[in-house]
């Protein structure tokens, strides 16, 4: 069992939109032998779209809307990639994904540097002590000076960095990368299909001058000397139990994902230094991957992966033990025993049935409405895994049925999309209308599009002016005060899908006043408390 755990590498690829996440994922799949031709994410000439963007709306817009899971074997390792949406309107999906991975690769655009979304995601990694590798993409375009970029990474992401490869010039004059980790030179050819050649050269020899030209050779030697002087030592960072695994220092690679350059070096180094599945904290105790008994949790639910069968799939991250097909497992929240006859593993939309899975693997379980995000499966032990919050939405609209003949389809569609955690549903206690709350504007468009195309139901939005939704509860012994609050704010009270009380504040002022006037009521901004 130890061997199986040690060869697993489960990681998420995160970044700002358009930094090149999906392109990088495609190239990693290319090396893993999972796809033969990398699809162009943007190009209209090639009819093949990116493997990981499989929803209809993703193909039309050229952006990722949902996290997709892909797995492949590389050398002796089994790699599980989660390609996340970069767009901030879907940040919640990305935050949840980070709870299910052991490490992350952050993609940074060499010209734009660190952007707002990347900072937020890095905060989540820092909170969870997730080890991070940074890939500086688009070196074949004019960008910023690499040293300036490293300074910015340290300052903005509040993490120490250590280059493991170094670019020789950039933009039009980009010659390639010197691989510090393996101590060889990779010369750049701008070709999307071929992989670049490696040259073994001694840094101080004249071979280097011949390979890249005298000026660049001199500069490279100076840069490398400076790197050795300024940044922590290689062994210190990527050695056993080094700074990288503690989540304190991020190794940095340079390359161009579109031109397939620097990607293999990243992958080779990644599988060697990245952590295998680690212990996970549950509410009751710490769960070690090497325990004999199976435990796992649901971190994502997706409806309609296959448009021909209206089915939901729950993604389960295996935390310990071995998952076996058809074995009886306890669904902790509702206390029932469940068996799975067709658990699957993924390659984005393609899936195949599996008989067993090990810690670190992501298993797709058919879901007929029994799962919610955050549910735990065990072999009988009462365990609860934490850390999958729903955030307080910031945009609200009434959802109305635009086609009375399709009421049932609309109900089903809304319920399944809410199970996915795409948005949150509140029912206003005053007028019984349904309010949908999201983190970003784009989610409303995605919901409307998916209701129409996947459930054959039409909806229309009506404006409602609200500032924030907060879950409320009172301290023990102050139930009367809570009742009083609910009466006074009757028009602004709602219930969420679990029947919990939610206060819909229509302005920041009202919320502050409520917090001051009712001292014994707690206002929560995530659904987990």
In sequence order, what DSSP letters do the residues of 144-180 get, joined into one string? --HHHHHHHHHHHHT-EEEESEEEES-GGG--EEEET
Q: Which two tokens stand for residue 393?
A: 């939405």
Indicate whether 107 pLDDT > 70.
yes
Tell me what pLDDT residue 179 has.
Answer: 78
Indicate whether 55 pLDDT > 60.
no
Domain 2-275 has CATH 3.40.605.10: no
Three-state SS for 181-194 is CCCEEEECCCCCCC
Confidence of residue 287 (pLDDT cuts 50, 70, 90): confident
Confidence of residue 40 (pLDDT cuts 50, 70, 90): very low
Distance CA 280, CA 271 (A): 21
Residue 31 or 522, more confident:
522
Across the range 227-254, mean pLDDT stands at 80
Across the range 88-106, mean pLDDT stands at 73
Of the candidates 70, 82, 69, the one whose C-alpha atom is nearest the C-alpha of residue 21 is: 82
Please, which residues have CB within 8 angstroms of residue 183's CB and are 6 or more apart in sequence? Answer: 203
Tell me what pLDDT residue 71 has.
Answer: 79
Q: Where are the domains positioned within the chain?
A: 2-275, 281-378, 395-524
Tell me what pLDDT residue 61 has.
Answer: 52
The greatest distance separating any two alpha carbons of the chain, rounded to the nearest whole angstrom, comes to 84
Tell me what pLDDT residue 404 has.
Answer: 87
User: What is the Cα gyration radius of the chain?
Assistant: 25
Indicate whether 32 pLDDT > 80.
no
Candidate CATH numbers 3.30.420.40, 3.40.50.150, 3.40.30.10, 3.40.50.300; the one for domain 281-378: 3.40.50.300
Distance CA 448, CA 422 (A): 12
**Do the first three CATH levels of 281-378 and 395-524 match, i.e. the same topology?**
no
Distance CA 31, CA 269 (A): 14
Indicate whether 185 pLDDT > 80.
no
Residue 107 or 169, more confident:
107
Worst-scoring range by mean pLDDT, 179-193, 390-404, 426-440? 179-193
Candidate CATH numbers 1.10.1840.10, 2.70.40.10, 3.40.50.1370, 3.30.70.3280; the one for domain 395-524: 3.30.70.3280
Whole-number percent of the chain with pLDDT over 70? 82
Worst-scoring range by mean pLDDT, 212-221, 267-276, 396-405, 503-512? 212-221
Distance CA 521, CA 479 (A): 9
Indicate whether 136 pLDDT > 80.
yes
Distance CA 138, CA 254 (A): 8
DSSP state of 484: H
Q: Tell me if residue 473 falls in helix, strand or coil.
A: strand
Q: Tell me which range, 189-203, 408-422, 473-487, is most confidently predicted by mean pLDDT.
A: 473-487
Residue 298, strand partner residues: 316
Across the range 444-451, mean pLDDT stands at 83
Indicate whether 284 pLDDT > 50.
yes
Tell me what pLDDT residue 304 has.
Answer: 56
Residue 420 or 494, more confident:
494
Instruction: Decide if 511 contacts 378 (C-beta within 8 A).
Output: no
Tell me what pLDDT residue 51 has.
Answer: 47
Residue 172 or 294, more confident:
294
Whole-number percent of the chain with pLDDT over 90? 2
Confidence of residue 434 (pLDDT cuts 50, 70, 90): very high
Residue 350 or 80, more confident:
80
Q: Which two tokens stand for residue 501?
A: 């009380």
What is the pTM for the complete model shown? 0.75
Tell me what pLDDT residue 351 has.
Answer: 66
Tell me what pLDDT residue 41 has.
Answer: 44
């Amino acid at each position: 069992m130890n061997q199986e755990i040690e060869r697993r590498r489960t990681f998420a690829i995160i970044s700002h939109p358009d930094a090149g996440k999906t392109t990088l994922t495609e190239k990693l799949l290319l090396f893993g032998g999972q796809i033969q031709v990398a699809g162009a994410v943007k190009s209209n000439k090639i009819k093949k779209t990116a493997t990981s963007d499989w929803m209809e709306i993703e193909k039309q817009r050229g952006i990722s809307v949902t996290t997709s899971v892909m797995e492949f074997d590389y050398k002796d390792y089994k790699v599980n990639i989660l390609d996340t949406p970069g767009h901030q309107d879907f940040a919640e999906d990305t935050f949840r994904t980070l709870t299910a991975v052991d490490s992350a690769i952050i993609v940074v655009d060499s010209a734009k540097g660190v952007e707002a979304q990347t900072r937020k995601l890095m905060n989540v990694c820092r909170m969870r002590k997730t080890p991070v590798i940074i890939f500086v993409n688009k070196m074949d375009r004019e960008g910023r000076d690499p040293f300036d970029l490293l300074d910015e990474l340290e300052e903005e992401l509040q993490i120490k960095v250590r280059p493991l490869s170094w670019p020789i010039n950039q933009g039009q004059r980009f010659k390639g990368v010197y691989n510090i980790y393996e101590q060889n030179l990779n010369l750049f050819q701008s070709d999307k299909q071929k992989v670049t050649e490696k040259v073994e050269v001694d840094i101080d020899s004249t071979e280097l001058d011949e390979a890249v030209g005298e000026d660049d050779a001199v500069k490279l030697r100076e840069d490398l000397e400076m790197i050795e002087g300024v940044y922590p030592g290689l062994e210190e960072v990527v050695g056993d139990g080094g700074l990288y695994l503690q989540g304190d220092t991020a190794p940095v690679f340079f390359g161009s994902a579109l031109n397939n350059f620097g990607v293999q070096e990243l992958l080779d180094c990644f599988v060697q230094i990245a952590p295998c599945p680690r212990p996970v904290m549950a509410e009751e105790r710490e769960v070690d991957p090497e325990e004999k008994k199976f435990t796992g949790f649901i971190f994502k639910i997706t409806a309609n992966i296959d448009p021909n069968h209206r089915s939901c799939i729950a993604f389960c991250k295996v935390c310990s033990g071995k998952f076996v097909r058809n074995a009886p497992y306890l669904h902790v929240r509702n206390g029932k025993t469940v068996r799975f006859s067709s658990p699957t593993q993924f390659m984005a939309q393609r899936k195949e049935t599996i008989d067993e899975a090990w810690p670190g693997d992501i298993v797709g379980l058919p879901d007929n409405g029994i799962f919610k995000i955050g549910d735990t499966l065990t072999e009988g032990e009462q365990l609860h895994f934490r850390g999958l919050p729903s955030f307080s939405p910031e945009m609200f609209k009434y959802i109305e049925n635009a086609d009375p003949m399709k009421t049932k389809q609309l109900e089903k569609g809304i319920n399944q999309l809410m199970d996915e955690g795409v948005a949150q549903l509140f029912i206003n206690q005053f007028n019984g209308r349904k309010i949908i709350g999201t983190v970003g504007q784009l989610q409303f468009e995605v919901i409307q599009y998916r209701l129409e195309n996947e459930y054959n139901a039409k909806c229309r939005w009506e404006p409602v002016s609200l500032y924030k939704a907060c879950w409320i509860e009172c301290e023990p012994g102050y139930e009367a005060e809570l009742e009083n609050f609910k009466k006074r704010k009757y028009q602004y009270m709602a219930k969420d899908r679990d029947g919990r009380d939610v206060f819909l504040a229509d302005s920041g002022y009202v919320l502050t006043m409520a917090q001051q006037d009712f001292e014994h009521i707690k206002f929560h901004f995530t659904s987990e408390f």
